[in-house]
Amino acid sequence: MTLKESPVAPETVPRPQAGQPHRATAWPEARATAAGAGAAARAGQSAREPLTVPLGAALGRNLAGPLLALTDLPSFDTSAMDGWAVAGAGPWTVREEGAVLAGHAPAAVLADGEAVRIATGARVPTGTTAVIRSEHARTELSGPGHSRTELSDSELSRTEPSGSEHSPTELSGSEISRTGPSGAMSGGLLLHALREVPPRQDIRPRGQECRAGDRLLPAGTAVTPAVLGLAAAAGYDELPVLPRPRVEILVLGDELLAAGLPHEGLIRDALGPMLGPWLEALGAEVLATRRVGDDAEELYAAVTGSPADLLITTGGTAAGPVDHLHRVLDAAGATLLVDGVKVRPGHPMLLARLDGAGPRHLVGLPGNPLAAVSGLLTLAEPLLVALLGGVREPHHAPGVPVQDEVQGHPHDTRLVPVVRRADRVAPLHYNGPAMLRGIAAADGLAVVPPGGARPGQALEILELPWPTAAGSAPAQGVCFT
């Protein structure tokens, strides 16, 4: 059915009349409704199979199942320090072969009373009872016709023969054992500990972090850089991840320019460049950002033909002469879940369920930029969080005191851009519905209850889903209210 074939004529669509209050939902209730809609939609998406992607492509996604260790970590006993691997009680005779290095298997078993140089991360030789840090040991040379000479590690590095191609750390045990301070031959090298050596000192035992099969992280965990590192250490080359909610953005309006300076009644589109990256930061897969003119038939085709799980529209949510969204949704058989929210800016936002193949939703954002941000945080974010299974917490910080008095709306919640200043937040100027200057410098938006907030009053803060300069001095040009 096309819009023209719809049994609902444009003039019969209910619209708010002048002087009448908008059919609006309280702000907390609107967010709860959006979260509930997302949870219901997720329950109907069981047919979407998890994706298996290379580690590098998993960042920012969520684990489809628990992360299980594929190996012991560490997978063998390793040295936690640069120093000496020793067996039994000291003093120890230093083995003549070179140091045991990371990535190389030890040459032989250490017998009681023996020691060998070892590097951090190297596999300890069989028979090792402890590792002694370099700074916690001393060595001495002894042999026929020579007095016992004590050498520190730094002195050992200077026993290198003149003109040798070895660096001090590359000098092998056999070269050390044959060379005294003046280059004279020596009979051997003894190692002494400078402090007590407990058994297994500075040895990372096999399986210290986990055993093969251990559950490292639960399903749904967000894949961060640290999770990628853990997965690689545990033996993974690929990860099974949840499919992201598919989102399509429809930017409405004949008055919008994609490039250049505003002129002759035309203005730059600020929402097209902003919404896609913002939604991706919330965990969505943005299929496309499309321009749709002030044409009801074009909008109807775009809404009914989209494969997205969530459609985001900008503008057209009020009752202006080219505000077609309500009529299009009615013709498409949609169910309005939220039709206006008691919040400033952004009160004409809406949330609708699109019936048909699979659970789909549409969030209608107001056309003014900061009002659209308000709608994004009020309706789109909680819906997306629920679509992801609740594995991402909404970005908010409850109970942060506000530095200054904040003017409120008599009856509605107000969202005001703020910056953090030590343990408080300060409201920013340039917070009108059409302004982005305030939010561009902000760390988040304060949720101001009806009637306003007094200095020191604790407010919920809707934080932004990317790193900000929270706690630092505001950038030059930032203005406070």
309-342 pLDDT, tens digit each: 999 999 888 877 778 899 999 999 999 999 999 9
The least confident of 43-47, 82-86, 160-164, 434-438 is 160-164
Determine how many CB atoms are found less than 10 A away from the CB of residue 281.
13
Q: How confident is the model at residue 143 (pLDDT cuts 50, 70, 90)?
A: low
The CATH number of the structural domain formed by 10-47+244-387 is: 3.40.980.10
Judged by DSSP in three states, 362 sits in: strand
The residue assigned the tokens 């919040």 is: 343
Average pLDDT estimate for 251-257: 78
Half-sphere exposure for 106 (CA within 13 Å, toward CB): 25
Residue 270 has pLDDT above 50, yes or no: yes
More confident residue, 434 or 475: 434
CA 349 to chain centre: 28
Mean pLDDT, the chain, whole residue set: 81
CB atoms within 10 A of CB 25: 24
Model pLDDT, residue 5: 52
More confident residue, 322 or 95: 95
> Could you give phi then psi for residue 79, rounded to 5 degrees?
-80, 135
Share of the chain above pLDDT 90, in %: 43
Adjacent-strand bridge partners of 219: none
DSSP E strand boundaries for 67-133: 67-68, 78-79, 83-86, 92-94, 114-118, 130-133
pLDDT: which is higher, 166 or 300 = 300
| pLDDT category of residue 3 using cuts at 50, 70 and 90 | low
The one-letter code for the residue type at 189 is L
Name the DSSP letter for residue 82: S
The domain locations on the chain are: 10-47+244-387, 54-68+213-241, 78-204, 396-463
Instruction: Go through the chain and tell me how many residues it has.
Output: 481
345-383 residue pLDDT tens: 999 999 999 976 556 999 999 989 999 999 999 999 999
Q: Taking the CA of residue 160 as centre, how many other CA atoms within 13 Å lie in the half-sphere pointing to its CB?
A: 15
Of residues 464 and 472, which shows the higher confidence score?
Answer: 464
How does residue 152 score in pLDDT terms, banded at 50, 70 and 90?
very low
Largest CA distance in the chain: 114
3 state DSSP class of 336 = strand
Distance (Å, whole) CA 39 – CA 385:
9
CA–chain centroid gap for 48, Å, is: 23
Q: For 479, what's the count of Cα atoms within 13 Å in the CB-facing half-sphere? A: 7
For a pLDDT cut of 70, what percent of the chain falls above it?
79
What are the tokens at 114? 């023996």
Cα 29 from Cα 341, distance rounded (Å): 9
Domain 78-204 fold is: Molybdopterin biosynthesis moeA protein; domain 3 (2.170.190)
Long-range contacts made by residues 329-338, C-beta under 8 angstroms, separation at least 24?
329/303, 329/362, 330/6, 330/8, 330/13, 331/1, 331/3, 331/6, 331/8, 331/300, 332/300, 332/303, 332/304, 334/362, 337/33, 337/34, 337/37, 338/25, 338/30, 338/33, 338/34, 338/379
Residue 126 pLDDT > 90: no
| pLDDT level of residue 304 (50, 70, 90 thresholds) | very high
Mean pLDDT, rounded, for 231-255:
90
Residue 82, phi-psi category: left (phi > 0), alpha (psi -120 to 50), beta (remainder): beta
Quote the radius of gyration of the chain (alpha carbons, Å): 34
CATH number of 396-463: 2.40.340
Q: Reduce the DSSP state of residue 473 to 3 states and report it.
A: coil
Say how far apart CA 268 and CA 258 lie, in whole Å.
6
- The DSSP result for 122-137, as a single string, is PBPPTT--EEEEGGGE
Q: State residue 393's pLDDT score.
A: 57
Checking if the pLDDT of 404 tops 50, the result is yes
